[in-house]
Amino acid sequence: MARKRKLISAVIPCYNEESGLHELYYRLGKALKAQNSWDYEIILVDDGSSDKTRLILEEMAKKQSHVVAVLLSRNHGHQLALSAGLSVAKGDRIFILDADLQDPPEVLGDMMKVMDEGAHVVYGQRRQRDGESLFKKVTAKGFYRFINWLSDVPLPVDTGDFRLMSRQALDELNRMPEQHRYIRGMISWVGLKQEPFLYDRAARYADETKYPLRKMIRFALDAITSFSIRPLRIAAFGGFLFAGLALIGLIYIIWGALQGNTVSGWASVISVILICSSIQMFVLGIMGEYLGRLYMQSKGRPLFVIEKIV
């Protein structure tokens, strides 16, 4: 009996990507077909799009036997949409990329060669980023280094979700129940052998970015609170520091009172009150972020709702 061919699953979350879906299918399909000894499936996840993305994916899945359309019940966000696609992937190897074609599917063959040498994860590491503003480049560069400094687990810098994973690495990832997900960090936490693959990131094929500043900030908060309790430690250290300064100030006031010196004016008092109050609110805000995530996690709700698989 002929040996069953191994399977590559390509998983792509999509949100309002109607303009580039056919180009994505063409380029990705060509890269997958080039892996001659492998079968493949293309899992396209509609994350509650408001344009024709959902209709295009359904039509693709009905016409193309290799395409699986996963249609979510509403917009869940990029990381949960990706998680939904990964949950239905059947492949021995899993290829993750975005629908905007900034990450070139044509490098799949080279990433496969790195995995053939024993890696469980081959993650794309950007040499340069074309088609993005200076603000985006600078903040992204700073963010990756900042989160790596905060994290208890080493996280590769200049690396997104673009990667090739083994079945074992995916099975471990799928066991993690976090509501607020930072998938690239969760994969790093898994361990196993992980190797970088350097590449140049292109500009978007069509339309504009689906990650405005508001979503970038929320994503950064999820990343920080998912992989580090160092902000809580910094808050505690700051509390001790200002408690010490307050004690010094109290000693100074008592000494001045014993010497018969009185403090004139309220400016200094009000300044101290404002500074201390601001610090307290900042610390409470950090604690609130962690408590809010614990509250959401304790509900035990499913991470996503799949309305239909075509």
Query: What tens digit of pLDDT does each residue of 86-134 get?
Result: 989 999 999 999 888 888 889 898 899 989 998 899 888 887 766 566 6
Higher pLDDT, 45 or 229: 45
Q: Which of 26-30, 155-159, 200-204, 298-302 has the highest mean pLDDT?
A: 26-30
Measured CA to CA, the distance from residue 84 to residue 77 in angstroms comes to 11
Instruction: Tell me the Ramachandran region of residue 105: left when phi exceeds 0, alpha when psi lies from -120 to 50, beta otherwise.
Output: alpha
Q: Which of 95, 93, 154, 160 is nearest to 125 (CA)?
A: 160
Distance CA 106, CA 103 (A): 9
Task: Give the pLDDT score at 44.
Answer: 94
Band of pLDDT at residue 146, cut at 50, 70 and 90: low
Overall average pLDDT of the 68-85 stretch: 88
Lowest mean pLDDT among 22-26, 112-116, 212-216: 212-216
The pLDDT-based confidence of 1 (bands split at 50, 70, 90) is: very low
Share of the chain above pLDDT 70, in %: 58
pLDDT at 86: 92
Mean of the pLDDT values across residues 133-148? 66
Exposed/middle/buried for residue 262 (C-beta within 10 Å: 0-12, 13-18, 19+): exposed
Six token digits for residue 295: 């509250």
| 210 pLDDT more than 60 | no
Which has more pLDDT, 123 or 294?
123
Mean pLDDT for the stretch of residues 126-145: 67
* % of the chain surpassing 90 pLDDT: 15
Q: In what order do the strands lie in the sheet with 121-129?
A: 194-201, 121-129, 159-166, 93-96, 6-14, 38-46, 67-72, 306-309
Q: Which of 203-212, 279-288, 292-301 is predicted with the least confidence, judged by mean pLDDT?
A: 203-212
Instruction: Check residue 299 and give its pLDDT.
Output: 62
Average pLDDT over residues 55-79: 89
Nearest one of 46, 204, 42, 35 to 106, comparing CA atoms: 35
- pLDDT band per the 50, 70, 90 thresholds, residue 150: low
Q: What is the pLDDT of residue 50?
A: 87
Instruction: Compute the mean pLDDT over every residue in the chain, rounded to the nearest whole number.
Output: 77
Higher pLDDT, 244 or 74: 74
Integer CA distances (angstroms), 202 to 104, 132, 281, in order? 8, 9, 42
Look-up: residue for tokens 């996840």? 45
For the whole prediction, is pTM greater than 0.75? no
pLDDT at 136 over 80: no
